[in-house]
């Protein structure tokens, strides 16, 4: 069995008195698309941020390529990642092409970076004219695509998608889901997505993990999800108010 690309072992994290993660164990194989589902405020974003080092776990360890993230040289580790943020998180003061080629701007010429950005923008279905616009001039769907172009700009080994379809209409959500699936296959990268959009889950995922109460309640192939027999998963995917997940949290 190959070394997992990402492995979380008994990860705990609390903010003040709020225990967000209470022992998360999760393993993601190379080139696998893992989707973490769960209600709002259950710690999905904290899970991803723990892997990136944006949040330091209180207990437990996070391994990337079998090595603890604390032992990696920070820059080398982060160079492996691309991330699409929930709201895009595009830099307001920079043009679209500067956003997309942000990482490359440190080592390549302006012209090379612009070309790289235009190529990536094309890949996500945006016209080259978009390159010179400011993020504020774009629609929500276009901003998501620019965020996607930025996430794939350096062909990372691992891409995180944080609520990729939140705030988008169903058609644009489908476009983004298709793009994510295509890019993950094309780049042969490992993907970790957090979402509560079940359409996205079925389109993007190879495997699914259900996070609730700070622990992974169930994990398995997306094909097994409907017949998981796990009460948390069943309540969540069917969108029922009754069940072990309290509606008011």
| Residues in contact with other proteins by the rule CB under 8 A | 49, 52-54, 74-75, 78-79, 81-83, 85-87, 89-93, 102-103, 106, 150
Contacts of 175 (CB under 8 A, 6+ apart): 125, 141
At residue 29, the 3 state secondary structure works out as coil
Q: Nearest distance from residue 15's CB to other proteins, in Å?
A: 12
CA gap 8, 43 in Å, rounded: 14
Q: Which is nearer to other proteins, 89 or 198 (CB)?
A: 89
Neighbours of 212 (CB within 10 A): 22
At residue 24, the 3 state secondary structure works out as strand
Q: Nearest distance from residue 126's CB to other proteins, in Å?
A: 19
User: In the chain, which residue ranges form alpha helices assigned H by DSSP?
Assistant: 44-52, 74-78, 96-100, 110-123, 140-152, 170-187, 198-204, 231-238
Q: Nearest distance from residue 86's CB to other proteins, in Å?
A: 7
Element (H, E) at 21: strand 18-28
Q: Which is nearer to other proteins, 163 or 234 (CB)?
A: 163
Is residue 1 a contact partner of residue 12, using CB atoms and an 8 Å limit?
no
Q: Nearest distance from residue 177's CB to other proteins, in Å?
A: 21
- Residue 205's nearest CA partner among 72, 69, 46, 33 is 33
E strands, 29-129, in order: 33-37, 59-64, 67-68, 81-84
Q: Which is nearer to other proteins, 146 or 184 (CB)?
A: 146
Q: Nearest distance from residue 239's CB to other proteins, in Å?
A: 27
Q: Which is nearer to other proteins, 184 or 210 (CB)?
A: 184
Q: Which residues pair with 28 in a beta bridge?
A: 6
Q: Which is nearer to other proteins, 184 or 215 (CB)?
A: 184
Q: Which is nearer to other proteins, 92 or 111 (CB)?
A: 92
Q: Nearest distance from residue 43's CB to other proteins, in Å?
A: 16
**Given the DSSP bridges, would you call strands 59-64 and 67-68 parallel, antiparallel or unpaired?**
antiparallel
């Amino acid at each position: 069995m190959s070394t997992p690309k990402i492995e979380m072992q008994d990860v705990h994290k609390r903010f003040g008195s709020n225990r967000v993660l209470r022992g998360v164990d999760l393993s993601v194989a190379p080139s696998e698309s893992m989707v973490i589902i769960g209600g709002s405020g259950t710690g999905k974003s904290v899970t991803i941020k723990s892997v990136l080092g944006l949040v330091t776990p209180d207990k437990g360890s996070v391994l990337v390529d079998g090595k603890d993230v604390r032992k990696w040289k920070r820059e080398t580790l982060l160079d492996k990642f691309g991330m699409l943020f929930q709201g895009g998180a595009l830099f307001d003061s920079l043009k679209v092409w500067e956003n997309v080629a942000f990482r490359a701007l440190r080592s390549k010429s302006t012209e090379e970076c612009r070309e790289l950005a235009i190529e990536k923008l094309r890949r996500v279905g945006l016209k080259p004219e978009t390159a010179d616009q400011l993020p504020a001039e774009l629609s929500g769907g276009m901003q998501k695509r620019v965020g996607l172009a930025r996430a794939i700009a350096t062909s990372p080994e691992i891409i995180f998608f944080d609520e990729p379809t939140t705030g988008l209409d169903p058609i644009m959500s489908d476009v983004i889901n298709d793009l994510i699936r295509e890019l993950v296959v094309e780049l042969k990268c490992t993907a970790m997505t957090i979402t509560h959009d079940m359409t996205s889950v079925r389109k993007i995922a190879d495997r699914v993990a259900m996070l609730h109460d700070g622990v992974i309640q169930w994990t398995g192939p997306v094909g097994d999800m409907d017949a998981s027999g796990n009460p948390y998963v069943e309540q969540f995917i069917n969108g029922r108010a009754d069940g072990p997940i309290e509606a008011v949290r």
